[in-house]
Structure 1
């Protein structure tokens, strides 16, 4: 939703740029100091335009480029100021959009990095749990082996006792329980 509002705001600024450029143009052309500067700039632009045109046509050598009349210079200056304002607004809008996009990208990268770190941490916990379980398994295996040894020892003693009891039954039939 915020991105939509941002885009609508940029579109509104872009749409308002032309009337704003017109007002800016009038302000600059009515200001005495700025008026003189933009007329100078228009004369320079005119001279560069003539030189570029002559170079493109293949003409060489220096040529005298007369200054424009003040009316033509004001016309060119007004176009220059207006287009410069529109260009500046366009650059500003692109810069703002780029900054917003970079902010989104850095937030996404930070989230991805946090997710990857969480996965690494979970993996480390699982590895540690596996290591702990293997150690516990070795301990239990050792205990089971010890119990197995004790059981074998008890079986051997029980068998020995049964053998002893069987021998006694033979010479004491009344205590054997089955005398026979």
Structure 2
């Protein structure tokens, strides 16, 4: 159930993040310090993009990469701001999911260890009971052996008594 709730919350955050990214973009572009930082980042991305494109085309050597126009830099900067917000939201959701999985795994591991300890204790108790039963059985076997000896001895005595009584009856004594 908790997993389902977490997934619904994650989906909701992803859905809400898109309009929030637009609001974040407006805020960044309206803030003078953040705006200049994001425009500088956009110019840097433009220079890296041009160098990668030149390298992919097989062009070598250093080339002057001019800055983008202000309008184009603002467009790229606003796109960077909104995509950066969405990216950071996605990373936060991934980290939260990883933490949740880690907690679940540690709980599962703890339960497995408890179960293993319970089974080990049960096994040890079983072994002790088996030893006790074996000792009781050995003791009972000894008692039974002594009783059998006594029974044989008593049967011999009864046979001797019967023989002596039989002799008396027939006058052989």
TM-score after normalising by structure 1: 0.90
Please name the residue that 1:58 is paired with: 58
What 5-or-longer segments of structure 2 have no aligned partner? none
CA deviation string 1:124-153 (max 9, x = no partner): 222221111111111100110011111111
What 5-or-longer segments of structure 1 have no aligned partner? 173-180
* Partners of 2:2 and 2:130 in 1: CA distance: 46
Greater mean deviation of Cα atoms: 62-71 or 112-121: 112-121
Please name the residue that 1:43 is paired with: 43
Greater mean deviation of Cα atoms: 46-55 or 117-126: 117-126
Please name the residue that 1:13 is paired with: 13
Please name the residue that 1:27 is paired with: 27
Please name the residue that 1:166 is paired with: 166
Please name the residue that 1:67 is paired with: 67
* Partners of 1:171 and 1:51 in 2: CA distance: 138
* Partners of 2:118 and 2:171 in 1: CA distance: 78
Please name the residue that 1:86 is paired with: 86
* Partners of 1:2 and 1:44 in 2: CA distance: 44
Please name the residue that 1:107 is paired with: 107
* Partners of 2:3 and 2:53 in 1: CA distance: 45
Aligned length: 172
Please name the residue that 1:175 is paired with: none
TM-score after normalising by structure 2: 0.93
Which of 1 and 2 has higher RCO (CA within 8 Å, sep 6+)? 2
* Partners of 1:81 and 1:22 in 2: CA distance: 9
**Bigger radius of gyration:** 1
* Partners of 2:96 and 2:88 in 1: CA distance: 12
Deviation at 1:106, TM superposition (A): 2.1
* Partners of 2:138 and 2:115 in 1: CA distance: 34
Aligned to 2:59, the other structure's residue is in SS state: coil
Please name the residue that 2:125 is paired with: 125
* Partners of 1:143 and 1:106 in 2: CA distance: 55
Deviation at 1:120, TM superposition (A): 2.1
